[in-house]
Chain A
Amino acid sequence: MAEMLSGADMLIRALQDEGVEYLFGYPGGASLHIYDAIFKQQKVEHVLVRHEQAATHMADGYARATGQPGVVLVTSGPGATNAITGIATAHMDSTPIVVISGQVPNPQIGTDAFQETDMVGISRPVVKHSFLIREASQIPEVVKKAFYIATTGRPGPVVIDVPKDSTDPNETFEYRYPRKVALRSYNPTLRGHSGQIRKAVRALLTAKRPVIYTGGGVVQGNASAELRELVDRLDYPVTNTLMGLGGFPGTDRRFLGMLGMHGTFEANMAMHHADVIFAVGARFDDRVTNNPDKFCPDATIVHLDIDPASISKIIRADIPIVGPAAAVLREMNQVVGKSLDRNPDGIDRDALADWWNRIRRWRSKHGLDHDQRHRGDSPLLPQQVVQAVYRATSGDAYVTSDVGQHQMFAAQYYKFDEPRRWINSGGLGTMGFGLPAAMGVQFAYPDATVVCITGEGSFMMNMQELSTCMQYALPVKIINLNNAALGMVKQWQDMQYGGRLSHSTYRDALPDFVDLAGSFGHAGFRASSVKELDEVMSEVFSPAYKDKLVFVDACIDREEHVYPMAIKGGAMNDMVLERQPAQA
C-alpha cells in the first residue's frame, strides 16, 4: 500500500528519496505548506539564508564541489526573482541545481495576485528546463524528471514552480517515487562516435605542435583521470580555461597555466602557434579566443563536447566529437595506446622536442612574476596574498572567488592539482558569488579548508550571509583583496579611458571589515604589508581558527593591474605583459 501524503509532504519526501542533504532556502507565503512539511522531518536539512540569490549560489557551490545537485527553495514573487541571478550563474557554468519556487494557487495564476510572478517565464532563458505543477499528483514524477535533467547530459539548472494549492495539507495522494524516468524527447549522448574518435587520435598523433585545451567539461564530466592518462601517454602541453582549472594538475610540468584574456604568455603563444588543438569540454568563449577571425590560424581543431551546440559555434571544428568527456577520453586512450604499441615511432618526437623548447622559451617570460617587485614593508601585492594563501593551505583548499581582479589573481597564482577545488562564476561573472558558494562547499565538506578569495566590492554584494555563517557556524576563510575600488573596472578605465575613474571607487565609504566580521561573532584580521601578511596567514590557518570564520582584510596596492592581458581585437598572441609607462 502506498502512503497517502499531501503535495507538500510528497515534495519533501521526493527530495529525501533523491538523497538530498541540504535545502538552501527562505520561506514566504506561497511556500508555507512546504515549510511545514520540512518542519515535520529530519532527513533534509534546511539552511536559512539571508537572501535568495545567496541560496542559489550555495546550492551551486555545493554542486560544483560534490558533483551532486544543489537544491534551493524560494517563495513566489520576489523570492523567485531574487533567485534568477543564481540560476543564470549556474546555467552559464552548467552546474546541476534544482530550484523549487512557491507560486500563487493555480486559480489565481494570471490575476496579478499578491507576490505573483511568472517564474517559468522569467527564468526561461536561463534554465535547462522548467516545470509548473498543475496537479499535486504530478509532484513525485516532476521531481524525478527535474533531477534527471539537471544532472545528465550537459548539466544545468531546473526550476519547479509549485502553486500553493498543490501543496494543500488537507488533500492527500498515493505517494510512489519513480525509480527511473524516461523522457522520450531527451536522450543525452552517452558515448562518442568511434569513427570520429579514431580520426581525432590520428590528428593528435601526427601533430607537430599540439596543445590540449580543456575546460569546465573535464571538471563537471569527472574526466580528470582520463585526461591525465592521455597526457601521460602523449606528453603534450595542456592549458585550462578559467572553468577548467584543476581538471589537469596545476603543478604538472606539462601544464602551461590558464589561457585567454588573462592567461599566461606561454599558454596563449602555444595556442596561437599550434598545428593541432584538442579542445575538451571547452566552448571557445570570447574571453579565450580574443578575435575569432585571428584565432590560431594554423590549427586543426579537434573539439570534444557533450553539447553539440557548443561545437562549431564560435570556431569551426575540423573533427567534432559529441559525447561525455570521460567516456570519449577513455576510448581515445585505448586507441592511442594500441597505436603506440604497434608503432612507437608513430609520433613525431623530434618535432615535439622542438615544440617543447619553444614553449620553454615562452615560459621564461610567462608574465606571472609580479611578486618579485615588492618586498618587506612596501605595499602588499594581491598576487603575494594569493601565494601566501596557497602556501598556508598547502595548495589543498577549496577556493571560491567572486569576479574581477582578485578572481584572475586567484586563478593565476593558486595552483589547483585536483578538480572541483576552484569554484568561480566564469560564464556569467556574478559578483557576490564567492561567499555563498564557499558556504555551500563548507556544508558539503565540514572538515575541509574552504577559502573565499574576494574583493571588497564583490563581498559587499552578499555580505549579509555573514549572519547565516554565524547561525550554522561555518568556518569559511574570507580573504578580502581590498584595493578600495572596483579593481577590474578601474583597470579598464586606467588602460582604455585615460584614467577617468567613473564610479569605480567609494570615496572612503568602506566599513571597517575587521569590526564588521567581529559584529557577527567572527574573527577579523588586517594585513597591509608582507610582514603582517605572513603573521596573519600563519594564524588564520592554524588549528586555533579551524572552527571559526575568519575575515582577512588584505589592504593591497591600489594601483595593481592584472597581466598578461589580451589586446582587444587581436589574436591570442597579442598580449600586454606589464603596465605601459604611458598609462601610469
Chain B
Amino acid sequence: MSARRIIAVLLENEAGALSRIVGLFAQRNYNIETLTVAPTEDETLSRLTLTTFGDENTIEQITKQLNKLIEVFKVVDLTEGDHLEREIMMVKVRAEGARRPEVKRTADIFRGQIIDVTDNAYTVQLTGPSEKLDAFLRAVGESTVIEAVRSGVSGIGRGDKILSL
C-alpha cells in the first residue's frame, strides 16, 4: 500500500552530499514530494527531511539505498512512529474591500500572522503540518492566492526519540 512518508537523514555537511541524495532519487525512480536541508546544532552535520510516496518495499529500498551513501550517517522513517511535522508557508493573498477583514479573520483562525501589508494584499505566514497549510489555501480560496511559498516538511520524533550520531 502506497503511503506518504517523512524520511529524516543525517549526513556530512559537505559539498556534494546533497547532490548524491537527490541523484539517488532520480536514478532509482523514487519520487520526492518535498525536501528541506540545513546544518544541525553540530555544524559538521546536515539534516535533511524529505517526503515521498511509496509502498513498504519501495520505502525499504529508499532507506537502504540512502544508508549506502558514504556521507549518510542515519536514516529514519519518521512516519513509522510518533512524530511532529511542521511546514512554514508565506502566502500573498488578495485583500480588498470586504475580502480584507475576511482574510484577516481566516488568518487568525489558522493562527497565521500577517507579516506584510499593501493596499490590496496581505502576506500571511503560517506554520503547521502540511494539511493545515492546504486547508488555509482552500479556506481563503484559490482565486485570492497571488503567490505561495512553502518550506517543505521538517520532522522530529516525539518524546525521547532523537536522531543524532
Where the two chains meet, the residues of A that have a C-beta atom closer than 8 Å to any C-beta of B are 120-121, 124-125, 128-130, 132, 149, 183-186, 307-309, 312-313, 316
Contact = CB atoms under 8 A, between A and B. Distances in A.
Nearest to A132: B16
29 contacts: A120-B16, A121-B19, A124-B20, A125-B23, A125-B27, A128-B70, A129-B70, A130-B16, A132-B15, A132-B16, A149-B70, A184-B73, A184-B165, A185-B11, A185-B12, A185-B70, A185-B71, A185-B73, A186-B70, A307-B68, A308-B64, A308-B67, A309-B61, A309-B64, A309-B67, A309-B68, A312-B57, A313-B61, A316-B57
Contacts of B19: 121, 124
Given A120-B16, A124-B19, A309 B57 contact: no
B65 interface: yes
Contacts of B70: 128-129, 149, 183, 185-186
B1 to A, nearest CB: 16
Nearest to A120: B16
A313 B27 CA distance: 15
A185 B19 CA distance: 17
A185 B16 contact: no
Nearest to A125: B27
B33 to A, nearest CB: 22
Nearest to B74: A185
Contacts of B108: none
A121 B22 CA distance: 12
B46 to A, nearest CB: 11
Nearest to B61: A313
B134 interface: no
Contacts of A149: 70
A313 B62 CA distance: 10
A47 B82 CA distance: 58
Nearest to B72: A185
Interface of B: 11-12, 15-16, 19-20, 23, 27, 57, 60-61, 64-65, 67-68, 70-73, 165
Nearest to A153: B68
Contacts of B60: 312
Contacts of A186: 70
Contacts of B71: 185
A309 B28 CA distance: 12
Contacts of A124: 19-20, 23
A125 B68 CA distance: 13
A358 to B, nearest CB: 33
Given A130-B16, A307-B68, A309-B65, 15 more contacts: A121-B19, A124-B20, A125-B27, A128-B70, A129-B70, A132-B16, A149-B70, A184-B165, A185-B11, A186-B70, A308-B67, A309-B68, A312-B57, A313-B61, A316-B57
A124 B70 CA distance: 12
A29 B124 CA distance: 56
Contacts of B65: 309
A128 B71 CA distance: 11
A163 to B, nearest CB: 14
Nearest to A185: B73
Contacts of A316: 57
A503 B50 CA distance: 46
A138 to B, nearest CB: 12
A219 to B, nearest CB: 21
A120 B60 CA distance: 27
Nearest to A131: B16
A132 B19 CA distance: 14
Nearest to A130: B16
Nearest to A186: B70
Contacts of A183: 70
B28 to A, nearest CB: 9
Nearest to B28: A125
Contacts of A128: 70
A125 B11 CA distance: 18
**A-B complex: 5 closest residue pairs judged by Cβ atoms:** A309-B64, A129-B70, A185-B73, A125-B27, A186-B70
Contacts of A308: 64, 67
A259 B14 CA distance: 44
Nearest to B12: A185
Nearest to B20: A124
Contacts of B165: 184
A309 B69 CA distance: 11
Contacts of A309: 61, 64-65, 67-68
